Amino acid sequence: MPKILIRPGFILSGGDNWEVIRDNEILVEDGIIVYIGRRRDYVVGEIDRIIDGKNQLVMPGLINTHTHAAMALFRSFADDMPLMEWLEKKIWPAEERLKKEDIYWGTMLAISEMIRGGTTCFADMYFHMDDVARACLESGIRASLAQGLIGIDSEKGTAGLKQSKSLISSWHRAGEGRLTIMLGPHAPYTCPPRYLQDVMSIAADLKVPLHIHLAETRDEVRECLEKWGKRPVELMDSIGLFAHRVLAAHCVHLSEREIKILAEKQVFIAHNPGSNLKLGSGIAPLMNLLAAGAHVSLGTDGAASNNNLDMLEELRLAALLAKGFHEDPTVIPARKALQLATTNGAQALFLEAGLGTLTEEAPADLIMLDLLKPHLNPHHDLCAHLVYAASAADVELVMVKGKLLMEKRELLTIDEEMVLYEANRRAERLTR
């Protein structure tokens, strides 16, 4: 792989401090950041490529810990409806018509959007995951994939487990480690405890984490109480789910006791404020979770319920909602919010150390933003710009594992025109 030298005006290190470093350089070799520091002299031929960015900012790539990429095909197909009605009347019938190739092109549409917005890694839960894996490998993005499992129908449930095992054996650690696989029991209301026991035993045997939807709506909590006498998080705890590594999406409706359980059992949470607001599900208690010591990361959910995959927008929403909800602007400072979309995301997906930061020996997953724009000037605090002023369109360059996926806003690994053509054509058939 070529040695690439990046010389931006500003480097934001990420991690705990989000230090702003001026006029330094980053050297990338074999997918790894091998040097960050003062600009040095090089002999001719030592570097394959120099990327200059006087008015640019380089930061860690954004990590989206919960989405359903191929649902990009259903963007704006069904809006302004409650979750269950939205699923039962519109989404599930359209999903019945999905074919493998639709999933591939839908995922490509989502990946194109994600790269354009500075997302370098995402966690996906859907079906026909072989085709999702193919799209990830071709596009160069990093991903953690889970086959969505539905256990209420025993035939579908068994088939799903079989597909999950084959997904793990075919794709886990593929793309030189860019892909990892999780098991994806959809939710407590679609996967009863007996089925979850089967899922857990596979997770233990094959040493893979679980990705589940949890406590998303008030109705889910009510039905869970009626059926099992326990709230969703309590139910999952009682059957031993949290003895495994778990990524739980949403976690909106929680009792004090459930917040304590999630923190104590070290469950990794994907906070999805945009989707929760749009579906009218509610507002997750982000600050109470963080105060209890829970691990919270950030996700967009699918583009059918968001309706975009813009992590900078999600970041702003998470920060503003918490401040407004608590009537206190100090609850989540910009640097803390940025951790949700970077380091916390890497931990939530159980990825290699260093991901989500720009440090020597970390994988070279980074993005560059153009600061030569009115809304990003002056430069009093670049971290505040990222949370409160920047948008997806400011991302100029994206690199994953040392490979350039976008430069000067041009996608380098994806034929975008073809993706738009195929996605539109297929979306029309699916929703006709």
Binding site for Zn ion (CB under 5 A): 301
Instruction: Tell me the closest approach of the beta carbon of residue 262 to Zn ion, in angstroms.
Output: 17
Instruction: Tell me the closest approach of the beta carbon of residue 54 to Zn ion, in angstroms.
Output: 41
Instruction: Tell me the closest approach of the beta carbon of residue 146 to Zn ion, in angstroms.
Output: 11
Q: How far apart are CA 279 and CA 220, in angstroms?
A: 14
Instruction: Tell me the closest approach of the beta carbon of residue 68 to Zn ion, in angstroms.
Output: 6
Q: What is the dihedral of CA 218, 224, 226, 227, to 10 degrees?
A: 160
Q: Match 């597909």 to its residue by tokens.
A: 163
Instruction: Tell me the closest approach of the beta carbon of residue 295 to Zn ion, in angstroms.
Output: 18
Instruction: Tell me the closest approach of the beta carbon of residue 304 to Zn ion, in angstroms.
Output: 10
- How far is residue 47 from each of residues 40, 91, 168, measured CA to CA in Å? 12, 50, 38
Total residue count of the chain as it appears in this document: 432
Encoding tokens for residue 393? Answer: 């369109």
Instruction: Tell me the closest approach of the beta carbon of residue 366 to Zn ion, in angstroms.
Output: 27
Of 267, 259, 218, 222, the residue nearest 241 (C-alpha): 267
Closer CB to Zn ion, residue 77 or residue 388? Answer: 77
Q: What is the dihedral of CA 103, 106, 107, 109, to 10 degrees?
A: 160
Give the residue closest to Zn ion by C-beta. 301
Closer CB to Zn ion, residue 131 or residue 301? Answer: 301
Whether residue 180 contacts residue 402, with contact meaning beta carbons closer than 8 Å, is answered with no
- At 407, phi and psi to the nearest 5? -145, 135
Print burial letters for 345-363: b (CB count within 10 Å at least 16), e (below 16). bbbbbebeebbbbbeeebb
Q: Which amino acid is at 389?
A: A
Closer CB to Zn ion, residue 301 or residue 365? Answer: 301
Q: What is the DSSP letter of 38?
A: E
- How far is residue 413 from each of residues 6, 108, 139, measured CA to CA in Å? 20, 11, 5
* 3-class secondary structure per residue, 297-365: EECCCCCCCCCCCCHHHHHHHHHHHHHHHHCCCCCCCHHHHHHHCCHHHHHHCCCCCCCCECCCCCECC
Print burial letters for 21-37: b (CB count within 10 Å at least 16), e (below 16). beebbbbbbebbbeebe
Instruction: Tell me the closest approach of the beta carbon of residue 382 to Zn ion, in angstroms.
Output: 32
Q: What is the DSSP letter of 71?
A: G
Closer CB to Zn ion, residue 301 or residue 422? Answer: 301
Instruction: Tell me the closest approach of the beta carbon of residue 6 to Zn ion, in angstroms.
Output: 35
